[in-house]
Amino acid sequence: MSAPLDGIRILDMAWQGPGTFCATMLGDLGAEVIKVYEARPERRGGPLLLMYPDAPIFPGWRNCKTMGLDLKAEEGRQIFYDLARTADVITEGFRPGTTERIGVDYPTMKEINPRIVYCSLTGYGQDGPYRDVVGHDINYISVGGLLGTLRPPGGPPVIPRTVLADFAAGGMCAVIGIMAALMARDKSGKGQYVDVSMTDAIVELMMPVLFPALLGEVISEKGETTATGEQPRPWYNVYETKDGKYISIGSVEPKFYANLCQLLGREDFIEHQYVEGEKREEIFQYFKKTFLTKTRDEWVEILRQKDTCVAPVHSLGEVVSDPHLRAREMIVEVDHPTLGRAKQIGSMIKLSESPFKARTWSQRFGQHTEEILLGLGYDKARINELREAEVIG
């Protein structure tokens, strides 16, 4: 069986994090992704190109093709219009108004190809008071309320180690929006515009935390909820172990909490799961001291004798070597044209008839420019003229 998005062509102008994540997911699902960069990457080729110009492999370069194209030049725009006639989806990550000035905005593309699905990824969306405000991941999770809840007692907010607004919110939201628009096109025959705001997506991800505010309840600035750890509970927390590592405990349900207390030798704590004040502090202190008596992995082995919702807090190196993640093919080894067998992060989407595989690799900037233009009917002489004029790269 072919891949789910086999036959779908995507023109990707979203060079930053959310666009890269979106393009990788769509490429992994079988779409032909053509990443359209500037003809000369040093102009504005995206941070990955500038930070890792010689990197043989990094996210965003698998299951895609790369093309250098100067969209500010009339000839460059005409090439893009030719591509748009063959495409199903266009993604872009410019500031609002930029594509209109260049001449590659949705109304223009819609005239060229009425079936086109056009997705814009921005920090704050295409309208609203913040429309033209610049920002990055840290700003979007600030406005969306997430950063304000990530703080230890008495401390400032803690910046997450991964880009949640860019990837989990923006990139994944774009994939869902694009696929929904493609399904709608199957029914109507018409494409449509997809407006993705990373801040909007963060707000939706904050649903369980923001819900009380919708009901008019007063919420502490520290976000006192059990699930986020700011309302500390002994049975939903992180503990240091004898070897200086950590385990996480999530014994929310009474039966899991009872198992935890039994395995820790304090069945008398079972009836006090939701106790406050001095008793809760007593339980806390006992848990803290007890977990310091054995190593992290010893505790995991002990507590998994019964259902207690326990897990080791992994280092990044441990994530890469974790046997479960390897079994789930989230850490995979794939064939690379120059590196041989190379480790990669797999796909979170598991399809029984269309398993993930790395079909193509882009190893250098503009690697597929000539191939793509030949497919559009340009001959080699014309391609050489365009390259000499720096319209393509």
| C-alpha distances in Å from residue 391, one per residue of 10, 100, 133, 373, 377 | 21, 20, 31, 12, 17
Structural domain ending residue among the three candidates 293, 314, 335? 314
Of 69, 97, 52, 96, nearest to 11 by C-alpha is 69
CATH of the domain at 372: 3.40.50.10540
Cβ atoms 210, 146 nearer than 8 A? no
241 and 265 share one domain: yes
Q: State the CATH number of the domain containing residue 287.
A: 3.30.1540.10
SS3 of the chain: the string is CCCCCCCCEEEEECCCHHHHHHHHHHHHCCCEEEEEECCCHHHHCCHHHHHCCCCCCCCCCECCEEEEECCCCHHHHHHHHHHHHHCCEEEECCCCCHHHHHCCCHHHHHHHCCCCEEEEEECCCCCCCCCCCCCCHHHHHHHCCHHHHCCCCCCCCCCCCCCHHHHHHHHHHHHHHHHHHHHHHHHHCCCCEEEEEHHHHHHHHCHHHHHHHHCCCCCCCCCCCCCCCCCCECCEEEEECCCCCEEEEECCCHHHHHHHHHHCCCHHHHHHCCCCHHHHHHHHHHHHHHHCCCCHHHHHHHHCCCCCCEEECCCHHHHHHCHHHHHCCCEEEEEECCCEEEEEECCCCCCCCCCCCCCCECCCCCCCHHHHHHHCCCCHHHHHHHHHCCCEC
Could you tell me if 103 and 193 lie in one domain? yes
Query: How far is residue 185 CA from its own chain's centroid?
Result: 25
Residue 74 within any structural domain of the chain: yes
Could you tell me if 299 and 332 lie in one domain?
Answer: no
Task: Judge whether 364 lies within some domain.
Answer: yes
Tokens (6 digits) for 42: 């040093």
Please, which residues bridge with residue 248 across strands?
238, 311
With 0-12 CB in 10 A as exposed, 13-18 as middle and 19+ as buried, what is 373? buried
Cβ atoms of residues 358 and 382 within 8 Å: no
Residue whose structure tokens are 């709608």: 184
Residue 20 tokens read as 């890269």
Q: Are residues 266 and 332 in the same domain?
A: no
- Give CA–CA dist 268/119, Å, rounded: 57
Q: Encode pLDDT of 347-393 as tens digits.
A: 888 898 888 888 877 777 788 999 999 999 998 999 989 999 999 98
User: Among 314, 336, 370, which residue terminates a domain?
Assistant: 314
Q: Which amino acid is at 202?
A: I
The residues near 353 (Cβ < 8 Å, ≥ 6 apart) are 1
- Does residue 1 lie in a domain region? no
Contact 238, 246 (CB under 8 A): yes
Are residues 248 and 199 both part of a single domain? no
Question: Within this chain, do residues 123 and 246 fall inside the same structural domain, yes or no?
Answer: no
Q: Which residue has 């869902």 as its token pair?
A: 176
Q: What is the pLDDT of residue 41?
A: 58
Instruction: For residue 366, tell me if it sits in a domain.
Output: yes
The CB density around residue 344, as the number of other CB atoms within 10 Å, is: 17
pLDDT at 228: 46
Domain that residue 269 falls in: 236-314
- Domain final residue pick, 292, 314, 336: 314
**How many structural domains does the chain have?**
2
List, for the chain, all residue ranges whose pLDDT scores fall below the cut of 70: 40-60, 217-231
Q: What is the pLDDT of residues 313-352, one digit of tens each?
A: 999 899 989 999 999 999 888 888 877 888 888 888 889 8
Does residue 221 form part of some domain?
no
Same domain, 81 and 194: yes
181 and 37 inside one domain: yes
21 lies in the same domain as 106: yes
Beta-sheet pairing, 89-92 with 9-13: parallel
Structure token pair of residue 32: 């032909």
Q: Are residues 350 and 303 in the same domain?
A: no
Active site amino acids = 136, 166
Structural domain contains residue 215: no
53 with 167, same domain: the answer is yes
Q: Is residue 126 part of a domain?
A: yes
Which amino acid would we find at residue 287? F
The β-bridge partners of 240 are: 246
Of 108, 106, 117, 162, the closest CA to residue 5 belongs to: 117
Looking at residue 43, its pLDDT comes to 53
User: Would you say residue 216 lies in a domain?
Assistant: no
Give which of 327, 298, 291, 305 is closest to 256, Cα–Cα. 305
| Domain identity same for 293 and 332 | no
Q: At 242, list the tokens.
A: 């004898």
